[in-house]
Amino acid sequence: MIEEGRAARARSVRPEPDVAAGLSSSALAARAQQQRRHTSIVITGAQIVLVLLLVLGMFALNATSGNLIMPKPTDILDESIQLWSDGTMLQALAESLTVIGLGFLLSATTGILLGIVLGGFPLLGRVFDPFVNAMNSTPGAAFIPLIIVWFGLYTEAKIVVVWNAALFPILINTAAGIANSNKDLVEMARAFGARRFTLFWRVMVPDALPSILSGLRIGAAISTVGTVIAELTMAQSGLGGLLAAAGNRFQMDRYFAVVIVLMALGTALTAALRWVEHRFSRWRVSQREEA
């Protein structure tokens, strides 16, 4: 494909030499790079303008409607500095990260393992399909009362809430990735004498990796949501607990300071997993571009 393209370009260039003569390939590359840089400056600039507008809007709303409806951004900043410096925020963050981390780890390992089993043994997959779908379609929060009865109100119960919410998207993505692995590659490996075990671990599972990783990304996002919900509704702790306490006392500046940390946390988690996804499925991305 690449060779063809190059040949076609060479042919089309010949009758109009001024086009080719004007710019060397390095100059073209430099120009393209400059163009890209220009575009990213425009995007970042627009984003900064939006943030400024948002802050100004908050000030305006504060001036017209008072501190309860919208706290002053400067007060939010002061409160943030206060919370970070006295260790409150750090402690809450550590508590939340424990629940997110352990819950996600648990759901990732069990989800991938069960997904591999259900995807790899189609008969088993078909038997469990309605049950998996039923669990996946039920909001995670619906199980909180049961989990409280079974596991109590504290960290281990919260981890169960997160595990229960994040497990199924990871499981479903893994199973689908394995079940839909490339039949041509499987046949190739079989033709060269690969046995079941090899076929599975060295062809089907790697082929499903991009799908498993998107399951993990969705699972991580759900873990954050699940953690905050568990912290709000069970024993108040972590960022969710801080959020609820500030809200109940109408300390909206404090409340906003926590929300900002939650936003940053969620964004960082998703970005990290997107990076991992990109890193491990580069081949798939470039295949898609070719198609």
Partner 1 sequence: MSGKPSTVPLISLRQVGKSFKDGQVRALDNISLDVAPGEFVSLVGPSGCGKTTLLRIINGLIAPDEGTVAVLGGPPEPGPDLAMVFQSARLLPWLSVQGNLEFVLSLRGMGRSERAQRAAALLGAVGLREFAQAFPHELSGGMQQRVGLARALAVEPKVLLMDEPFAALDAMTREVLRHELWQMWSRRRIAIVFVTHDIDEAILLSQRIVLLRPRPGRVDEIVDVQLPEARWQSDPRTLPAFAEMRAHLWSRIHDMVRDGAELEELAGAFPADDSPG
Q: Is position 291 an interface residue for partner 1 (rule: CB under 8 A)? A: no
Q: Hey, CA dihedral for 274, 280, 283, 284, is it positive or negative?
A: negative
- Stretch of 26-34, 67-75, 101-109, 192-200 contacting partner 1, by CB under 8 A: 192-200
What string of H, E and C letters represents the secondary structure of 262-286? Answer: HHHHHHHHHHHHHHHHHHHCHHHHH
x/- string (CB under 8 A) for partner 1, residues 157-186? ---------------------------xx-
Q: Is position 149 an interface residue for partner 1 (rule: CB under 8 A)? A: no
Rounded to 5°, the CA angle 80-81-82 comes to: 90
Rounded to 5°, the CA angle 117-273-185 comes to: 45
x/- string (CB under 8 A) for partner 1, residues 198-237? x---xx--xx-x----------------------------
Nearer to partner 1, 139 or 183 (CB): 183
Q: Is position 197 an interface residue for partner 1 (rule: CB under 8 A)? A: no
Q: What gap in Å lies between CA 137 and CA 69, rounded to an integer?
A: 35
**125, 118 Cβ separation under 8 angstroms:** yes
Q: Is position 187 an interface residue for partner 1 (rule: CB under 8 A)? A: yes
Nearer to partner 1, 189 or 245 (CB): 189
Rounded to 5°, the CA angle 30-31-36 comes to: 95
| CA distance from start to end of the chain | 11
Q: Is position 16 an interface residue for partner 1 (rule: CB under 8 A)? A: no
Exactly one of 152, 190, 221, 251 binds partner 1 (CB under 8 A); which one? 190
Q: In whole angstroms, how far apart are CA 289 and each of 56, 277, 284, 285?
A: 42, 16, 9, 6
Q: Is position 278 an interface residue for partner 1 (rule: CB under 8 A)? A: no
Q: Is position 279 an interface residue for partner 1 (rule: CB under 8 A)? A: no
Could you give the count of Cα atoms lying within 13 Å of 212 in the half-sphere of its Cβ?
25
Q: Is position 86 an interface residue for partner 1 (rule: CB under 8 A)? A: no
Exactly one of 188, 268, 272, 276 binds partner 1 (CB under 8 A); which one? 188
| Smallest distance from partner 1 to CB 216, Å | 17
Query: Which residues here bind partner 1, judged by CB under 8 A?
Result: 1-4, 184-185, 187-194, 198, 202-203, 206-207, 209, 283-284, 286-287, 290
